[in-house]
Chain A
């Protein structure tokens, strides 16, 4: 056999194997990207899709045009419902680009991508106190230099990988058996409520305790480690600044909102001594948003957290059959709460919640002190009605004893906006 024939056969073998594998993965589509064929018994259930949302969601934004995009971590992924009739009846299309643990720099990348590809008019950006600190680093995060061409290359690479073959086989298995699977719907919402309908709603009290214990005993550690530094030099707002630049460039409406975690989460923050830092963060956000809002009113900051009619919803006792209206657990709000958020920020007449002055407050540097004062009064009222909360939080905590009785007042005089912005400018460059 000649060497030339050997090379030809070698090449043909390589191409045949890689081509076959790519075609198989393209058709089965375990990450819900190609959507070439929908075969109910073969690829309706895609268990691997959940972990590859960062690969899939940019393609969704590419695929069709949306009026708006919702960005945020798992709270948005679970709770902002693009199928909300309030949106559909107005002919507004929304894509839920929420991704578990989505970081602000990823939000900035996705917002720019959405603005460039689908011509969105508005964006709902959920900011999360916990996720605001700590950038990338995990291999599953989007790279900071993410581009659309890179996304395409990453997808092509995923097609010729043994991991995708395994995931395709798992897809076929789950689809064949009809196994209920957590995965994103075509508009980006996670099907968690349908999933719980199929497998059974977990016990609320256990869910709340589990999440609160995680946040108390580990999740806030990076922030606790950096508390002194954050108090001294402030937060890094470069990702938010990037989003604001995109807003300016594409003339978008931007609604930044603090997610309505349950009041118990506010107590977790307070228990860990992070309440002053939370206030500093909110104050800085108000300054950054206000600073870029000169001459227009298209950027707003909303605070849904604290002690309002939604966040103070009573938690059923263990093994209770009662269902919560607004929550899945202490940080993940329900689709119903998501609808109330959409109503509030987009200025729709409230359909999910009677007009409630305490749920969703637009925050500016001018009203932030009043906002904090009202939050303090609301908390007192909440604790008076639920005196057991503080003890419950303390019982979940497993770390070193923390000093109790911290003041509601900020430790020092709040930094004026000019100082915050000057510091942000330094960090952004």
Chain B
């Protein structure tokens, strides 16, 4: 089920909130957890019953393995615990590999060996990458002795919790489960609901009005590139349009996840914090898909050695992490190249920092803008691989962007949309900043959160309520086509 669908907005959400309200009235956390668990499975299984069985099976497997690991930790049986952890992680990765990478693997083996094994066509269950990573983190932390033993319903809800299930954020048990356990003990906080509705509205607006409006500009350019040469302006317009499409699509989804979760009083981690304002690639990755970055850092980069084994090893670890991060997004060489490019960007970023040890105490504003633009252009070039359906198409786009096929033109409507997008991503505060004083997410590091804006600060007043209500209604009026979020396919 999509957040941006009639079924979700007019049926699922009101019914879930009504059932949740009943649980709150009874002051029963267990009942509230059960309500959200059932709702999450209904949400996930809507139209795809097999995926529900897979989710339930995967969750049960990890829950049982987690309990067994916790037992070994209590009894001090480290070797057995390590073995169980290996079994758990392998089970998760095998499941992910089968559903996400089997076709890719066979296709490449066919190419390498000349064999003609039939390429399996396997439907990718939505959200499998997210719930697999969530559970691997849980198993690792259980082995480390930092995860509490949970009731089955709490664990199942932790994995399936509908605001985050299909496209993140990747939530951490230590942050989320205590909130589930506290749910319904206190009265339902109306200010959480008010903030949640407003953030939900902003998310819907970003997705339905901005992302879906710029998407056709990108589609046109990439379709042309797949079939022939692209002129420079057309190429850059397509690349920028895709950069904005994925930005507002994912940002919109992240806002909606935060808003929906607030409706039941649960705070999710911030997953998206103005990444195009970043002045370095390192900073970009602390602002884009923050929960994935943290996961890759904590459960891949640091276990690989991080920066503890010298500079050369650090760069190798960075490249490995980003290549796997690329592969996580999709089973295709274009995603691997995208990850590899970001790996190279990060290595270059660290090399530059090393080579220029002296820092200006207060760098001039123009320098920040120069860096911001450079980061934006570098990220945009990488998006070309991310969006293209083949490496050839990506190079055709990049060739066009370099100007080898002429200058080209564009129209005022396209330019207006792109200009509006630039203004929003560079000049306006992000959703978190607008609602910062109401703490809509889990705590955020100050350097990420930024200062509270002087204007555009949300306050519960009549004008704000009417405006957000009208915007929400206008968004609903545009829901007349199937438009899934881009991150659903990862």
Interface of A toward B, CB cutoff 8 Å: 1-7, 9-14, 16-18, 21, 139, 153, 157-158, 160-163, 165
**B residues 428-478 touching A (CB-CB < 8 Å):** 460-462, 464-466, 468-470, 472-474, 476-478
User: What 18 additional pairs, Cβ within 8 angstroms, besides A7-B194, A161-B479?
Assistant: A2-B190, A3-B189, A5-B465, A6-B194, A6-B461, A6-B465, A10-B194, A10-B198, A13-B465, A13-B466, A13-B469, A17-B474, A18-B477, A139-B481, A157-B6, A158-B480, A160-B476, A162-B474
B191 part of interface (Cβ distance < 8 Å): yes
Assembled-state Cα–Cα distance A163/B477 (Å): 8
A contact residues around B480 at 8 Å (CB): 157-158, 161-163
| Chain B residues at the A interface, C-beta cutoff of 8 Å | 6, 189-191, 193-194, 197-198, 460-462, 464-466, 468-470, 472-474, 476-481
CB-based contact B6/A9 at 8 Å = no
Q: Cβ of A2: which chain B residues have Cβ within 8 Å of it? A: 190, 460
Do residues A9 and B473 form an inter-chain contact, with CB atoms below 8 A? no
Contact B478 A10 (CB under 8 A): no
Residues of chain A within 8 A of B462, CB atoms compared: 1, 9
Q: Which residues of A contact B476 (CB under 8 A)?
A: 14, 18, 160
Closest A residue, CB atoms, query B196? A7
CA distance A157 to B472 in the complex (A): 16
Which chain B residues border A17 with CB–CB below 8 Å? 469-470, 473-474, 477
Provide the residues of chain A in CB contact with B470, threshold 8 Å. Answer: 13-14, 17
- Indicate if the CB atoms of B477 and A162 lie closer than 8 Å: yes
B477 and A7 within 8 A (CB): no
8 closest A-B pairs (Cβ-Cβ)? Answer: A13-B469, A17-B473, A3-B190, A9-B465, A3-B191, A3-B194, A6-B460, A10-B469
In the complex, which residues of chain A have a beta carbon less than 8 angstroms from the beta carbon of B461?
1, 6
Contact assessment for B193 and A3 in the assembled complex, using a CB-CB cutoff below 8 Å: yes
Complex CA–CA separation, A160 to B479 (angstroms):
9
Do residues A12 and B469 form an inter-chain contact, with CB atoms below 8 A? yes
A161 contacts B477, C-beta separation under 8 Å: yes
| B190 & A18 in contact (Cβ 8 Å cutoff) | no
Cβ–Cβ < 8 Å partners of B194 in chain A = 3, 6-7, 10
A residues near B479, Cβ cutoff 8 Å: 157, 161
A236 to B267: give the CA distance in the assembly, Å.
Answer: 54
Bound state CA distance, A163 and B479, in angstroms?
10
List 12 A-B residue pairs with CB atoms under 8 Å apart, sorted by A's residue number.
A2-B190, A5-B465, A6-B194, A10-B472, A13-B465, A13-B466, A14-B476, A17-B474, A153-B6, A160-B477, A161-B478, A163-B480
Q: What does DSSP make chain A's interface, helix, strand, loop or mixed?
A: helix
CB distance from A33 to the nearest CB of B (A): 16
CB <8 Å contact, A7 and B190: yes
The reply to whether B473 and A18 form a contact with Cβ atoms under 8 Å apart is yes
- Is A10 within 8 A of B477, CB to CB? no
Chain B residues near A157: list those with CB within 8 A: 6, 479-480
Question: Contact between A13 and B460 (Cβ–Cβ < 8 Å)?
Answer: no
User: Who on chain B is nearest to A12 by CB?
Assistant: B469
CA distance A381 to B464 in the complex (A): 80
A10 and B474 contact, CB distance less than 8 A: no
Complex alpha-carbon distance, A329 and B282, angstroms:
66
Shortest Cβ distance from B198 into chain A, in angstroms? 8
Taken together as a complex, chains A and B put the C-alpha atoms of A161 and B198 apart, in Å, by 21
Q: Which A residues are CB-close (under 8 A) to B198?
A: 10
Contact status A4-B472, CB under 8 Å: no
The answer for the CA separation of A4 and B198 in the assembled complex, in Å, is 13
| Most chain B C-beta atoms within 10 Å of own C-beta, residue among A2, A14, A153, A162 | A14
A13 to B464, CA, bound (A): 11
Are B469 and A9 interface neighbours, CB within 8 A? yes
In the complex, what distance in Å separates the CA atom of A17 from the CA atom of B473? 6
Q: Are B460 and A1 in contact (CB under 8 A)?
A: yes
What are the residues of chain A within 8 A of B474 when measuring CB–CB? 17, 162
The residue on A at minimum CB distance from B469 is A13
Query: In the assembled complex, which residues on chain B have CB atoms less than 8 Å from the CB atom of A16?
Result: 469, 473
Asked if A10 contacts B190 (CB within 8 A), the reply is: no
B473 CB to nearest A CB, Å:
3
**Complex partner residue of A162 from B193, B197, B469, B478, CB under 8 angstroms:** B478
The interface residues of chain A lying within 8 Å CB-to-CB of B469 are 9-14, 16-17
**Among B6, B191, B197, B481, contact of A10 (Cβ-Cβ < 8 Å):** B197
When the two chains form the complex, which single residue of B193, B466, B477, B481 contacts A9, counting CB atoms closer than 8 Å?
Answer: B466
Contacts of B478 in A (CB 8 A): 161-162
- Which one of B191, B462, B469, B478 has the greatest number of beta carbons of chain A within 10 Å? B469
Contacts of A162 in B (CB 8 A): 474, 477-478, 480
